[in-house]
């Protein structure tokens, strides 16, 4: 499904009409907005093929942005920043909510995009966290912001810096929302050029300066400063600038504890205790990868497929007996778990949360929805698999 087709088919007729009216885009043939939703979509998709290049480019750009915040992670970002949750709750689906924010609160929509950018990269290769002083007020007066921007310009040797500062909330695994102050930073890069066509259709090289994005957050309750930036060497300096110029405190350069995963308990049967309120039906170990102690050149993988009628521990015991790698001499280095939930409403099947964990720091949790991340983190901690080091 193309970007524009997805936008049109997923958005209600009311939302689509509001979008085209807002941008004064006339569709030919005209769309009857009072017929069924599928008929509206079919007519609108045919009509957008007749748009001129400028209108089509605008629609494509806007559709990409709205589609980008219509999924679970995007919705979480929108709700973490909106001032009108009651209106958002009444809208039909994720696309309608994203489009409503796009049309009626464009600044908050951009902040939601910045939130998603930050949270998707959190605790990844582009992230560092630092221990700071809690319960401080982040300064936003002209003198403080000027000092912060000057420090960034000098660090990156650039002329132009744009800074957005806003408050937001982030859900935590214990069910409470933590308050954050987020800073979105856009800086000008070094000159570059790229191929382009001029007005006569001739191929030329056109000079431009790329824009690079970074993000920072401060959590007053804990004092933690987090930095998301592709430039690893700059993260600690950016945290220092924030602490010195905006928080008015001394920067200690102490990083937050790393997350580490310990799979040792999975070498023997484990019960995976859960709370009934979370609606979890079962937790199964589908795969274990092991390496012999003292030999990093070999490994063994045990796997139970979907139709297996026994646990991975029973399978290993029955096939290998006392020679099973789970009995000793081997270390579990990777595990694949499946968390199955009870069906909701009229659904015949419940959803499934697959977790792939690799020692010491690898886990696919950040690729899941925000709700799944909270559930996964809660139970990986409870089971002793996730810990701080």
- Let me know whether 30 and 83 are in one domain: yes
C-beta separation of 291 from 333 below 8 A: yes
254 in a structural domain? no
On the question of pLDDT at 348 being above 70, the answer is: yes
- Let me know whether 379 and 291 are in one domain: yes
- What is the per-residue pLDDT for 199? 82
C-beta separation of 359 from 334 below 8 A: yes
CA distance between the termini of the chain: 44
- What is the per-residue pLDDT for 176? 72
On the question of pLDDT at 361 being above 90, the answer is: no
- Let me know whether 94 and 184 are in one domain: no
- What is the per-residue pLDDT for 322? 86
pLDDT tens digit sequence for 211-270: 999 999 999 999 999 999 999 999 999 999 999 999 999 998 999 887 889 999 999 999
C-beta separation of 271 from 282 below 8 A: no
- Let me know whether 7 and 75 are in one domain: yes
Higher pLDDT, 167 or 322: 167
Nearest by Cα to 4 from 61, 54, 89: 61
252 in a structural domain? no
Name the 3-class secondary structure at 187: strand
> What integer is the mean pLDDT of 98-106?
97
Domain extent for 77: 3-110
Higher pLDDT, 171 or 385: 385
Indicate the range of 17-21, 49-53, 363-367 predicted with least confidence.
363-367
Pairing, β 211-219 against β 127-130? unpaired
The rounded distance, in Å, linking the Cα atoms of 170 and 173 is 10
328 in a structural domain? yes
Query: Hey, which residues does 228 pair with through a beta bridge?
Result: 127, 215
- Let me know whether 101 and 132 are in one domain: no
- Let me know whether 289 and 373 are in one domain: yes
Structural domain count of the chain: 3
- Let me know whether 175 and 290 are in one domain: no
pLDDT tens digit sequence for 62-78: 999 999 999 888 998 99
- Let me know whether 100 and 175 are in one domain: no
- Let me know whether 380 and 269 are in one domain: yes
Q: Is the C-alpha dihedral spanning 285, 291, 292, 294 positive or negative? A: negative
Query: What are 91's two structure tokens?
Result: 């809208």
- Let me know whether 136 and 239 are in one domain: yes
- What is the per-residue pLDDT for 170? 86
The share of the chain scoring above pLDDT 90, in percent, equals 70
Pairing, β 177-188 against β 161-171? antiparallel
The rounded distance, in Å, linking the Cα atoms of 23 and 212 is 29
Q: What share of the chain is helix, strand, coil (3-state, %, to 5)?
A: 40, 25, 35
Q: State the helix-helix crossing angle for 37-48 and 3-10, rounded to 10 degrees.
A: 150
Query: Hey, which residues does 302 pair with through a beta bridge?
Result: 288
Q: Could you tell me the pLDDT band of residue 35, with boundaries at 50, 70 and 90? A: very high
Of 218, 246, 274, the residue that ends a domain is 246
- Let me know whether 269 and 382 are in one domain: yes
- What is the per-residue pLDDT for 62? 97
- What is the per-residue pLDDT for 175? 60
304 in a structural domain? yes
- What is the per-residue pLDDT for 174? 59
The rounded distance, in Å, linking the Cα atoms of 121 and 231 is 13
- What is the per-residue pLDDT for 243? 97
Of 246, 280, 311, the residue that ends a domain is 246
- Let me know whether 225 and 267 are in one domain: no
The rounded distance, in Å, linking the Cα atoms of 236 and 76 is 28
On the question of pLDDT at 166 being above 80, the answer is: yes
Q: What is the CA radius of gyration of the chain?
A: 26
C-beta neighbour count of 76 within 10 angstroms:
21
- What is the per-residue pLDDT for 60? 96
Residues 151-165 as b or e (16 or more Cβ within 10 Å = b):
bbeebbebeebebeb
Residue 244 per-residue DSSP state: I
On the question of pLDDT at 389 being above 90, the answer is: no
In the chain, beta strands by DSSP E: 127-130, 161-171, 177-188, 192-197, 203-208, 211-219, 224-228, 259-261, 280-292, 300-303, 330-341, 352-358, 362-363, 386-388
pLDDT tens digit sequence for 134-147: 999 999 999 999 99
172 in a structural domain? yes
80 in a structural domain? yes
On the question of pLDDT at 357 being above 60, the answer is: yes
The rounded distance, in Å, linking the Cα atoms of 139 and 150 is 15
The rounded distance, in Å, linking the Cα atoms of 82 and 86 is 10
Of 202, 218, 246, the residue that ends a domain is 246
pLDDT tens digit sequence for 304-340: 987 778 899 999 999 898 889 998 889 999 999 999 9
Q: Could you tell me the pLDDT band of residue 279, with boundaries at 50, 70 and 90? A: very high
Name the 3-class secondary structure at 309: coil
140 in a structural domain? yes
9 in a structural domain? yes
């Amino acid at each position: 499904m193309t970007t524009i087709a997805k936008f049109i088919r997923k958005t209600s007729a009311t939302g689509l009409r509001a979008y085209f009216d807002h941008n004064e885009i006339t569709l030919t043939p005209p769309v009857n907005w009072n017929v069924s939703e599928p008929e509206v979509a079919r007519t609108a998709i045919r009509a957008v093929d007749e748009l001129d290049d400028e209108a089509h480019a605008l629609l494509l750009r806007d559709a990409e942005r709205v589609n980008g915040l219509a999924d679970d992670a995007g919705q979480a970002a929108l709700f973490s920043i909106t001032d009108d949750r009651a209106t958002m709750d009444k809208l039909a689906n994720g696309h309608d909510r994203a489009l409503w924010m796009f049309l009626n609160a464009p600044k908050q929509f951009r902040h939601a995009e910045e939130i998603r950018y930050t949270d998707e990269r959190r605790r990844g290769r582009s992230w560092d966290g630092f221990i700071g002083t809690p319960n401080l007020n982040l300064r936003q007066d002209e003198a403080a912001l000027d000092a912060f921007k000057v420090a960034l310009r000098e660090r990156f040797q650039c002329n132009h810096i744009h800074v957005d500062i806003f408050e937001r909330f982030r859900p935590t695994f214990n069910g409470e929302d933590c308050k954050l102050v987020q800073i979105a930073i856009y800086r000008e890069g070094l000159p570059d050029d790229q191929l382009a066509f001029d007005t006569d259709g001739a191929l030329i090289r056109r000079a431009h300066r790329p824009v690079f994005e970074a993000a920072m957050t401060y959590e007053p309750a804990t004092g933690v400063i987090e930095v998301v930036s592709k430039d690893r060497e700059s993260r600690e300096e950016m945290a220092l600038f924030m602490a010195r110029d905006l928080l008015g405190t001394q920067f200690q350069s102490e990083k937050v504890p790393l997350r580490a995963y310990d799979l040792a308990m999975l070498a023997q049967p484990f019960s995976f205790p859960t709370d009934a309120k979370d609606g979890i039906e079962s937790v199964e170990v589908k795969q274990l990868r092991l390496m012999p102690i003292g030999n990093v050149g070999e490994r063994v993988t045990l796997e139970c497929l979907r139709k297996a009628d026994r646990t991975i521990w029973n399978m290993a015991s029955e096939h290998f007996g006392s020679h099973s790698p789970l009995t000793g001499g081997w270390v579990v280095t990777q595990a694949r778990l499946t968390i199955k939930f009870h069906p909701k409403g009229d659904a015949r099947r419940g959803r499934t949360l697959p977790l792939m964990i690799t020692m010491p720091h690898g886990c696919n949790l950040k690729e899941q929805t925000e709700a799944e991340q909270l559930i996964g983190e809660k139970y990986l901690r409870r089971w002793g698999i996730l810990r701080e080091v």
